[in-house]
Structure 1
């Protein structure tokens, strides 16, 4: 997995739950967090949740078991820009491996 870059105010995080047998819009809702728009304590909470969750997933591809069969998974996409680099990271985390804080962030759009 690519190392998590420094998340500055330019970073935007998209968090969605995908997969399963049937696509149901309410169950696949995407959350977007623009770090520049979050107060500092909430921004730190979101970044802490990501740091905890990212090692549990892998980029999309043949070696990633997320989404196989009817398994749900979380898709985290981080768009970032720093002084030295910019880009996107996409990580898929099987729902059963995801920390409860990640699911709460996706469901409520809030940190616990």
Structure 2
């Protein structure tokens, strides 16, 4: 995928950490970002981060006990079935993605 779908204030982003030798649900620490609760600067930061993840996302992420970040993007709440999923290998993840996952917005 080369570009993100258009994102409105109805967009939802969920980031979790997956994989590893022993997958433990509590260590995934999912973060959910509701664009309706974000100001325009925060939305811009999240969109820039998502665009930075596009070239490093891989369908191969998570194989051989590799940790990865799973990003689920729901562009519009009214069309909940339309979801984009990016799997970003931990070692290729942008620093800002790791920071967002650890600390939230």
Q: TM-score, normalised by structure 1?
A: 0.82
Measure the CA separation in 1 of the matches of 2:4 and 2:68. Answer: 19
> What residue is the counterpart of 2:103 in the other structure?
108
**Structure with higher strand content:** 1
Matches within 5 A, 1:1-112: 1=1, 3-58=3-58, 64-81=59-76, 87-110=82-105
Shift of 1:44: 1.1
Q: Residues 50-92 of structure 1: CA distance to partner in whole angstroms, max 9, x if unpaired?
A: 111122103xxxxx2200111100101101139xxx8210111
**How many aligned residue pairs are there?**
102
- Secondary structure of the corresponding residue to residue 4 of structure 1: coil
Gaps of 5+ in 1: 59-63
**Which runs of 5 or more residues in structure 2 are unaligned?**
none
Aligned partners of 1:102 and 1:51: how far apart in 2?
A: 11
Deviation at 1:43, TM superposition (A): 1.4
TM-score (norm 2): 0.87
